[in-house]
Chains A and B, each alone.
Chain A
Amino acid sequence: QLQLQESGPGLVKPSETLSLTCSVSGGFISSSSYYWGWIRQPPGKGLEWIGTIYYTGSTYYNPSLKSRVIISVDTSKNQFSLNLSSVTAADTAVYYCASHSWGATSNNWFDPWGQGTLVTVSS
């Protein structure tokens, strides 16, 4: 059973880079069955998809964040990572990593999710 766990600093200064890692257990990140995604949720607000990566390194990003986001994968550590540059207070959110599964007809969904980690952008 797949389990995901986010880790990284809980406080980042404005204009700096937010860096988070998601550790995957119960399965291999290099499995052809899964992609891996990041989603965020500002306090008291809704969910926003940030981007998705395949173990080969292929990435798909939300155009609204694309200029500031890099998602990478480390198959040797069974981890994938999120870097978000030039952060502002608007990037304060709970950041979730999730397995991004695809069905036979290109339907896709996020399951399971990590527990989430709150990142606050403040000086």
Chain B
Amino acid sequence: DIQMTQSPSSLSASVGDRVTITCRASQGIANYLNWYQQKPGKAPKLLIFATSSLQSGVPSRFSGSGSGTDFTLTISSLQPEDFATYYCQQSYSIPYTFGQGTMLEIK
């Protein structure tokens, strides 16, 4: 199985901050990397697919980059509604696996 490791596991930031979350795969996954946002008691929501493609309706302050084993999700200017848990997920090979999550909290 491909292990996905996110860092940090938790992060405190303020509205307006620029935030970067990192996801590392245990082996190369080309650009087969997706990002999801999950708020408490809600289902995950797709933000970015195929490393850098923004899902329809997702604000442009979200962006993704990377290739191979190292990937990043960047939020350019945090908004109050962005405080949530973020998960990366590899879709390169079965079993599809998720990172452990990064909890983004208000400072």
- Interface positions of A (Cβ within 8 A of B): 46-49, 60, 62-64, 96, 103, 105-116
Contact = CB atoms under 8 A, between A and B. Distances in A.
A107 B32 contact: yes
A62 B43 CA distance: 20
B91 A108 contact: yes
B91 A107 contact: yes
A114 B95 contact: no
25 contacts: A46-B100, A47-B89, A62-B94, A62-B96, A63-B94, A96-B43, A106-B32, A107-B32, A107-B49, A107-B91, A108-B96, A109-B34, A109-B46, A110-B36, A110-B44, A110-B46, A110-B89, A111-B45, A111-B46, A111-B49, A112-B43, A112-B45, A112-B46, A113-B43, A115-B42
A96 B43 CA distance: 8
Nearest to A60: B94
A20 to B, nearest CB: 14
Given A96-B44, A107-B49, A109-B91, 10 more contacts: A46-B98, A49-B95, A62-B95, A62-B96, A103-B49, A108-B32, A110-B44, A113-B44, A114-B43, A116-B43
A8 B1 CA distance: 30
Nearest to B101: A46
A62 B98 CA distance: 13
B77 interface: no
B87 A47 contact: yes
Q: Which 5 A-B pairs have the closest CB atoms?
A: A111-B46, A113-B43, A109-B49, A107-B50, A62-B95
Contacts of A46: 87, 98-101
Nearest to A4: B43
Interface in B20-63: 31-32, 34, 36, 42-46, 49-50, 55
A103 B34 CA distance: 12
A48 B100 CA distance: 10
B3 to A, nearest CB: 12
B65 interface: no
B97 interface: yes
